C-alpha cells in the first residue's frame, strides 16, 4: 500500500477521533450496558432442567452422532 499524503493522514486521524468515544462517554456506555445486562438477567426465568433420563438419551444420541460422523469420515475416501 502506498503512503498517504499528509492531508490523507489528517483526514484519517480526524475520523478516528470522531469515531472513538471520550473516556467519560466510554465509562457511561459501559455502565449502561452493565445495568441493562443485570436487569435482563434478573427478569428472565432460569432455564428448564432436564431429567436424568432425558440427559442419558441426549448423551447417547450425541455419542452415536459422533461415532457415525467418524465412520462416514473414515469411509469417505474409498
What number is the average pLDDT over the span 62-78? Answer: 91
Look at residue 21 in the predicted model and tell me its pLDDT.
84
What number is the average pLDDT over the span 47-59? Answer: 89
Query: How many whole angstroms separate alpha carbon 15 and alpha carbon 10?
Result: 9
Look at residue 1 in the predicted model and tell me its pLDDT.
54
Residues 11-50: pLDDT tens digits? 999 998 888 888 899 899 999 999 888 887 777 777 788 8
Place of cell 438419551: 57
Place of cell 498517504: 4
Amino acid at each position: 500500500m502506498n503512503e498517504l499524503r499528509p492531508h490523507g493522514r489528517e483526514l484519517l486521524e480526524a475520523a478516528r477521533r470522531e469515531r472513538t468515544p471520550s473516556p467519560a462517554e466510554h465509562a457511561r456506555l459501559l455502565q449502561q450496558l452493565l445495568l441493562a445486562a443485570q436487569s435482563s438477567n434478573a427478569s428472565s426465568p432460569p432455564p428448564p432442567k432436564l431429567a436424568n433420563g432425558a440427559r442419558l438419551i441426549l448423551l447417547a444420541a450425541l455419542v452415536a452422532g459422533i461415532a457415525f460422523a467418524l465412520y462416514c469420515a473414515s469411509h469417505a475416501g474409498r
